């Protein structure tokens, strides 16, 4: 398919105008929104006002005057709309890692007669690491992390499993779990489910309430475009709230933080999942970034995401590029919004692409990821990435040793 045909698809795209809501560099094709979302223009104005007026002039009075203290709940509710959660079940706080710790602890407390956290071997490492940390802290009589292959998840759900912890869209190959079906299967065996929505929130329609999900966490800086290190969010179904606590019992989760009582008493609802003072600059940026979603349905976003991915995949298969293998499932219902390719020289190829203005990323040992963020990526982006990839492979430029040096972040 020629670049011209990709441009024609842009002409028929009902979401094409949304790109104007983002501040994108002119000379780049940005396909890494699954790792760090692009900058929404609404963030500029918000941060400028926050720094100049709220922090600079109003100083500490802003906690009340500009409702800084309510931001975790306010931002949580904006995210709730995107993940199918009724009010009072989502709060914005900390990182996914920290929120996993809180919710895994809650899950074990809700299932005191069970001790296993069941997860997938190739889940995102931080999810596994946090499970390992909690198991180390509580000891094997109270908590064990068990990891199995994708195909063994359901058969491993025995009466010891307190919680099944999964990521809906796998960060390596982009494979999508059937969240509704797995949730039902796990619950029928008495386990709770905790879903990591890092690669779903804002790009895949999720119905946490309708699918009876117990718990979820998600990322503020990927498809929600909240900026580097933006706070994450957590969801706990109302039926589980107020029954147990969580061990990071900081003052922001206290029933009455400003009474400064010596004894901890958890606040009701999601508030008790806060620990310390929220980073207001980051949270305000995420708050402003979420306004981009106003008036747009997740179904429309998903439709464009699937079409972008399909055009890219079809063309990859048609061009039959040397050494390239498609890792992401071809069928839309089985994938999120990224397409992963493998190649023995994946790292060097990703570096050549980045140098040519096609921003992708690399995941060890041999994966190149192309993340499609339908709010700002156009079909021409996909076409340009394909042409650049083909040129890179044919020219052999990636064999130059200067493309072998890895930075701290890949
Ligand atoms: C990006 C990502 C995270 C990030 O965790 P943080 O603690 O917020 O840095 C966690 N889980 C998954 C699946 C991710 O893709």
Q: What residue has token string 């002409």? A: 11
CB distance 253 to 117 below 8 Å: no
Closest atom of ligand 1 relative to the 220 alpha carbon = 8
CA 14 to centroid of chain Cα atoms: 25
Whether 196 sits among the annotated catalytic residues: the reply is: yes
Ligand 1 centroid – CA 160 distance (Å): 27
pLDDT over 80 (residue 1): no
Spatial CB neighbours of 331, under 8 Å, sequence gap ≥ 6 = none
**What size, in residues, is the chain?**
410
Pocket test of ligand 1: the residue of 126, 130, 166 to mutate, having most ligand atoms within 8 Å of its CB, is 126
Residue nearest to atom 14 of ligand 1 (CA): 198
The predicted pLDDT at position 141 comes to 97
Structure tokens, 303: 């439709």
Whole-number mean pLDDT of the chain?
97
Q: Give yes or no for residue 94 CB within 6 A of ligand 1.
A: no
| pLDDT band, very low/low/confident/very high, at 197 (cuts 50, 70, 90) | very high
The mean pLDDT of 145-174, rounded to a whole number, is 98
- Say yes or no: CB of residue 172 within 6 Å of ligand 1: no
Per DSSP, 50 falls in state I
pTM above threshold 0.85: yes
Q: What is the largest CA-CA distance in the chain?
A: 68
pLDDT band at residue 201, thresholds of 50, 70 and 90?
A: very high
């Amino acid at each position: 398919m020629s670049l011209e045909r990709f441009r024609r698809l842009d002409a028929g795209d009902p979401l094409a105008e949304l790109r104007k809501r983002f501040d994108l560099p002119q000379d780049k094709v940005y396909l890494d929104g699954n790792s760090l979302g692009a900058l929404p223009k609404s963030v500029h104005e918000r941060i400028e006002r926050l720094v100049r007026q709220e922090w600079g002039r109003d100083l500490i009075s802003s906690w009340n005057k500009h409702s800084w203290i309510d931001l975790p709940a306010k931002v949580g509710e904006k995210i709730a709309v995107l993940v199918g959660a009724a009010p009072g079940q989502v709060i914005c706080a900390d990182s996914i890692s920290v929120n996993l710790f809180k919710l895994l602890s809650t899950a074990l407390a809700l299932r005191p007669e069970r001790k296993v956290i069941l997860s997938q071997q190739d889940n995102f490492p931080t999810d596994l690491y946090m499970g390992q940390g909690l198991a180390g802290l509580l000891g094997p009589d109270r908590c064990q992390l068990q990891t199995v292959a994708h195909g063994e998840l359901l058969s491993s759900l025995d009466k010891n499993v307190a919680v099944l912890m999964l990521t809906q869209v796998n960060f390596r190959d982009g494979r999508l779990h059937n969240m509704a079906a797995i949730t039902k299967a796990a619950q029928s065996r008495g386990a709770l489910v905790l879903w990591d929505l890092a690669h779903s929130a804002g790009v895949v329609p999720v119905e946490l309430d309708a699918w009876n999900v117990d718990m979820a966490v998600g990322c503020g800086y990927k498809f929600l475009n909240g900026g580097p290190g933006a706070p994450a969010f957590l969801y706990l179904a109302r039926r589980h709230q107020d029954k147990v606590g969580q061990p990071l019992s900081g003052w922001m989760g206290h029933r009455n933080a400003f009474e400064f009582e010596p004894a901890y008493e958890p606040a009701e609802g999601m508030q008790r999942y806060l620990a310390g003072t929220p980073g207001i600059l980051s949270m305000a940026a995420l708050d402003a970034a979420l306004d981009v979603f106003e008036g747009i349905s997740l179904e429309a976003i998903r439709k464009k995401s699937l079409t972008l991915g399909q055009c890219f995949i079809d063309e990859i298969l048609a061009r039959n590029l040397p050494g390239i293998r498609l890792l992401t499932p071809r069928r839309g219902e089985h994938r999120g919004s990224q397409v992963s390719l493998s190649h023995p020289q994946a790292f060097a190829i990703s570096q050549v692409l980045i140098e040519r203005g096609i921003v992708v990323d690399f995941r060890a040992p041999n994966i190149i990821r192309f993340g499609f963020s339908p709010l700002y990526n156009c079909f021409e982006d996909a076409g340009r990435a394909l042409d650049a990839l083909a040129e890179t492979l044919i020219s052999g430029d990636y064999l130059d040793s200067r493309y072998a040096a890895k930075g701290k972040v890949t």
